[in-house]
Amino acid sequence: MKFLKVLLVPCLLALSAPAFADLNVFACEPHWASLVTEIGGDHVDVTTASGAFNDPHFIQARPSLISRMRRVDLVVCNGADLEVGWLPVLLQQASNDRIQPGQPGYLDASHEVQLLQVPTRVDRAMGDIHPYGNPHFQTDPHNVAAVAAELVKRMVQLDPDNAAFYQQHYRDFSARFGAAMTRWEQEAAPLKGMKLVAYHDGWVYLSHWLGLDIVGFLEPKPGIPPSPAHLSELLNQMKGTGVQGIIYTPYEDEQAPDWLSQRTGVPTALIPDTVGADNDQDLFQFYDLMVNQLLKLHGEGK
Amino acid sequence: MCKRSFVALVATLSTAVCGQALAAPQTNGNAFNPGIGLVLNGTWAAYPTAAGHREIPGFLLGEDAGLAPQGFGLGESELDISSNIDNLFTGFGALSFKESHGESSAEVELAYLQTLAMPAGFQVTAGKFFSAFGYQNARHAHTWDFVDQPLAYEAMLNNQFSDPGVQVTWLAPTDTYLLLGVEAFSGDHYPAGGAAHSGNGASNVFVKLSRDVGDSSTWLAGLSYLSTRAVDRSSLGSPDPLYSDQSQLDGPLFTGTSNIAGADFVWKWAPHGNFYERNFIFQTEYLHRHEDGRVGDSTCGTVTGCALSSAYSGSANGWYVQGVYQWMPRWRVGLRYDRLSSDNTVTGIYQPAQLLVTGDVPKRYSVMMDFSNTEFSRLRLQFNRDESGPVAGNEVFLQYIVAMGAHPAHTF
C-alpha cells in the first residue's frame, strides 16, 4: 500500500479547513454571487460555479463544486433548464438536504420573473431550446431586482440571526439599484430601435428592456455553431437593413463575428452577459459596462 | 409568477405564492412521469475475421470481451428512466439492448435508487449499478471517448463491472473533494461469478480526490480495491462455429479469488473553464490483479471434482493512457495506448491454452476522431492497431451515438 501513502499524504495535507460564514451560498452564475454579496455583506460566503468567460450551458460538474455544494445553505441559479447539463449532478451527489429543489435553500430565480420566448412546441430539431422559456433573463436588471426581493426572504429565513442586517442591506441595494436602472434607461434612450445581430439568442430580455431590435443570429439554431452557409445567408440579409452592430459574449468565438464584420463593415462588440468579464466587479459595473458598450457601438455604427 | 408544470411545482411547493398560473394543472397523473431517454448506439466495424474471435494470451476473458460484430451492428443501446422518488430518494433504471448476427438481447443494465438527503455527507446507493472502481468503470457507454473499453477493462473486468449490491459513500466537508466509499455486491458478474459466500461475493473500497487548478484545470485521482470470489466463472474459448468473428463461452472455468487494485488519474483542461470552445482531457489508469484458485475444463460443468483441472495462480498488470482534444466546438481527436502483462502458474494436468503467456505483451494503439453536432449526437471514426491477440490486426470502427428525450446530466 506504499503507493496509497505516496498519493494520499500530500493530498490530505492540502485539505484546507473550510471557512464558514453565517450563510454559505452557491451561486450558479456570477450575477447572483454579486447580488448575494450586496445583501449579505460579510455575513455570507459565496462560491460561483461559472464565470463571464464560460458558457453557463456547458459547465463541467467538477468534484470541487460537489464539495462546495455539500456545505452550503443556499443555492441560487437562473433555472429554466439553463444549468440542466450539470446542476442536477451536483445536487444529487452533494448529499445536502437543505438545498434540494423544494427546500428554502434552493432558489430557482426563473420562478421570480416573467420568462419570454416560452415555446409552444418543443423539438430538439429546433436546436438547444428551453421548454420553460429563454433562461438568459439577467440581461434585464428589472429581473435581477425581482429576484432580489425573493432572495432576501430566503436569506432571512435561513439565517434569522442576521435578518435585520439583510433587510437593511436589501433596502439600501434596492434604492441604489432602482436609481441606477433609471440612469441606465436614460443613458440608453438613444439605443431604442437599434438593429443588432447577435451570436446566440440570449438577448431577448436586454432588447425588451432597452428597446433594441435583434434581427438575426450567427448561430443557425440555438447551440449550433455558425456555419459558412448560414453566415453567407445572414450577410445577404444584413445588406441595407441598417444593422449597427454584431454582438457576442466573451465565451463565444470571435472568428465568425469578425468574418461578418469584415464583409459588412458593421462593427462588433463584446457584450458580457454576466459580471466579471472586464473590470466590472458587481452588478452596477456590469450594467454600466453593458450600456456603455452598446452606446459605443451605436456611435460607431452611425 | 408560477408555472404549474411538474418541475416548477416541486420547486415552488414550499416557497412561492403562485400568482397567475400559466397552464392549467394536469390532472391525469402524467405530470409525475419520470424522465425517459433513449440512447442509440450503432457501429460499423472492419477487421480481419480471426480477430473477432477474441483471445488475449494469459487472460481468461469474460463473455462481453471482444469486438463489435463485423460490418453493421447495433451496439449497446439503452433505455433510461430516471426520477426523484420522493424527498429522500432518486431512482434510475436502464435497459440495454443489442443485436448481434440476428439475435437480439436485452438486459437490466442498471436499476438503483440513491439517497438524496442523508446527514453528514453520506450517500447510499442500492440496486444494480456500475461499481465506482477506477474512473472508466462507472461511465456509461455513450460517454466513452473511444468505441471500446481499455484493454485492461476488457481483460480484467469484462469491459465494465456492475452487479446487484449496495454502495455507501462519504463526502468530506472540505474544499478539496474527498470521497470515501465501500461497495458490497452479490458476486454474480465477472470477475466474480456464482454469487459466492451466499450472495456476498464481491466488494470494493475506493477513495477519490479532486481539486481545481486555477480557473482552467481540474484533476481527479482515485484508488480502488475490488475483491471478488468466483465460482465456476466461465470464459471465452473456441471460435463460434456459425460466426467466426464471435467466440463461444467454452473456455476454462475458474473458481477462486480475483482481486484488483486500481489507480486512476484524470486531468481536464479548458481555457477559463469554457469547455464548449476548446478542451483537453488526459486520462490514465493502472490495474493490478491477482487471481488464485483452480481452473477446470468447461465440459466438467464445475471445477470442484473435475478431473481436467489444475491449481492456478496468476498476477496481471494493465494500464492505458489517453488524451482527447477538442480543438474547436464539436470536433475532437483522441489517442490511446493500452498495455497488458501477466504471469501465470498452472500446476496440474490441465493446461489451458488461454493461460499460456507468450513472449509478446498484449498492446494496442488507438486513434479516434469524433463530431458532436450537439451534446445529443456524436459520430465517431476510430482506428486500432491491435497487438493484443495472437495475430496483430488493424481495426476500423464507425459509430453513432444519439440521445433522445430526457438525458441525465453527466458526471465529471
Beta bridge partners of A47: A26
Q: How much is the average pLDDT of A190-195?
A: 96
Helices (H), chain A: 2-14, 30-40, 63-71, 87-93, 141-158, 163-187, 204-210, 228-238, 255-264, 283-301
Task: Give SS3 for B307.
Answer: coil
Task: Give SS3 for A174.
Answer: helix
Task: State how far the Cα of A244 lies from the Cα of A261, in Å rounded to an integer.
Answer: 10
Residue A216 is placed in which grid cell?
438575426
Best B274, B317, B331, B402 member to test A by mutation, with max A CBs in 10 Å, is B274
Best A58, A254, A273 member to test B by mutation, with max B CBs in 10 Å, is A58
Residue B61 pLDDT > 70 = yes
What is chain A's alpha carbon radius of gyration, rounded to the nearest angstrom?
A: 21
Q: How confident is the model at residue A157 (pLDDT cuts 50, 70, 90)?
A: very high
Residue B398 pLDDT > 50 = yes
The per-residue pLDDT for A71 is: 94
Task: Give SS3 for B300.
Answer: helix
Contacts of A11 in chain B (CB under 8 A): 176, 178, 209, 221
Task: State how far the Cα of B313 lies from the Cα of B292, in Å rounded to an integer.
Answer: 4
Interface contact A102-B223, CB threshold 8 A: no
Q: How much is the average pLDDT of A259-283?
A: 94
| Distance of residue A190 Cα from the nearest chain B Cα, in angstroms | 32
Name the pTM for this structure. Answer: 0.90
A157 → chain B, closest CA residue: B15
What is the percentage of chain B residues whose pLDDT exceeds 70? 93
Contacts of B2 in chain A (CB under 8 A): 111
Residue B33 is placed in which grid cell?
412521469
Residue B3 pLDDT > 60 = no
| Nearest Cβ partner for A111 among B8, B119, B374 | B8
The per-residue pLDDT for B2 is: 38
B406 → chain A, closest CA residue: A84
A64 → chain B, closest CA residue: B177
Distances (CA, A) of B284 to A118, B205, B303: 44, 19, 36
Task: State how far the Cα of A29 lies from the Cα of A17, in Å rounded to an integer.
Answer: 25
The answer to whether B136 touches B285, Cβ cutoff 8 Å, is yes
Contacts of B330 in chain A (CB under 8 A): 225
Burial of A67 (0-12, 13-18, 19+ CB in 10 A): buried
The per-residue pLDDT for A280 is: 87
Q: How confident is the model at residue B134 (pLDDT cuts 50, 70, 90)?
A: very high
| Distance of residue A95 Cα from the nearest chain B Cα, in angstroms | 5
The per-residue pLDDT for B9 is: 38
Of B205, B256, B254, B210, the C-alpha closest to B229 is B256
Task: State how far the Cα of B149 lies from the Cα of B161, in Å rounded to an integer.
Answer: 12
| Nearest Cβ partner for B411 among A4, A57, A89 | A89
Range with lowest mean pLDDT among B99-103, B221-225, B345-349: B99-103
Beta bridge partners of B321: B284, B337
Is A3 in the B-facing interface, judged by CB distances under 8 Å? Answer: yes
B373 → chain A, closest CA residue: A224
The per-residue pLDDT for A10 is: 47
Angle subtended by helix axes A163-187 and A283-301, to nearest 10: 10
Q: How much is the average pLDDT of B345-374?
A: 93
Interface contact A60-B276, CB threshold 8 A: no
Task: Give SS3 for A301.
Answer: helix
Residue B70 is placed in which grid cell?
463485423
A99: left (phi over 0), alpha (psi -120 to 50) or beta: alpha
ipTM for the predicted complex: 0.88
The answer to whether B313 touches B291, Cβ cutoff 8 Å, is yes
Helices (H), A21-131: 30-40, 63-71, 87-93
Task: State how far the Cα of A298 lies from the Cα of B284, in Å rounded to an integer.
Answer: 52
Task: State how far the Cα of B236 lies from the Cα of B246, in Å rounded to an integer.
Answer: 10
Task: Give SS3 for B390.
Answer: coil
Q: What is the DSSP letter of A116?
A: -
Tell me, what amino acid is at B105?
Answer: S
Q: How confident is the model at residue A20 (pLDDT cuts 50, 70, 90)?
A: confident
Question: CB neighbours of A277 closer than 8 A, spacing ≥ 6?
Answer: A52, A53, A249, A250, A270, A289
Interface of A with B in 155-214 (CB under 8 A): none
What is the percentage of chain B residues whose pLDDT exceeds 90? 74
Helices (H), B216-274: none
Best A3, A45, A92 member to test B by mutation, with max B CBs in 10 Å, is A92
Q: How much is the average pLDDT of B166-183?
A: 96
Of A196, A215, A226, A208, the C-alpha closest to A136 is A208
The per-residue pLDDT for A131 is: 85
Are β-strands A23-27 and B309-328 bridged in parallel, bridged antiparallel, or unpaired? unpaired
The answer to whether B226 touches B262, Cβ cutoff 8 Å, is yes
Range with lowest mean pLDDT among A208-217, B11-20, B311-320: B11-20
A92 → chain B, closest CA residue: B116
Interface contact B14-A71, CB threshold 8 A: no
| Distance of residue B247 Cα from the nearest chain A Cα, in angstroms | 38
Beta bridge partners of A19: none
Question: CB neighbours of B30 closer than 8 A, spacing ≥ 6?
Answer: none
The per-residue pLDDT for B100 is: 77
Of B266, B210, B174, B263, the C-alpha closest to A4 is B263
Residue A235 is placed in which grid cell?
450577410
Task: State how far the Cα of B6 lies from the Cα of A102, in Å rounded to an integer.
Answer: 12
Best A64, A118, A249 member to test B by mutation, with max B CBs in 10 Å, is A64
| Distance of residue A278 Cα from the nearest chain B Cα, in angstroms | 14
Q: What is the pLDDT of residues B210-220, one digit of tens each?
A: 999 999 999 99
Q: What is the pLDDT of residues B144-167, one digit of tens each?
A: 999 999 999 999 999 999 999 999
The answer to whether A225 touches B276, Cβ cutoff 8 Å, is no
Task: State how far the Cα of B237 lies from the Cα of B60, in Å rounded to an integer.
Answer: 9
Q: How much is the average pLDDT of B32-47?
A: 91
Q: What is the pLDDT of residues A230-270, one digit of tens each?
A: 999 999 999 888 999 999 999 999 999 999 999 999 999 99
What is the percentage of chain A residues whose pLDDT exceeds 90? 80
Interface contact B223-A58, CB threshold 8 A: no
Looking at A34-137, which runs of residues are DSSP E strands? 44-48, 74-77, 106-108
Contacts of B265 in chain A (CB under 8 A): none
The answer to whether B312 touches B296, Cβ cutoff 8 Å, is no
The per-residue pLDDT for A302 is: 52
Residue B287 pLDDT > 90 = yes
| DSSP track, B63-102 | TT-SPPPSEEEEEEEEEEEEEE-SSSEEEEEEEEEEEETT
The answer to whether A155 touches A74, Cβ cutoff 8 Å, is yes
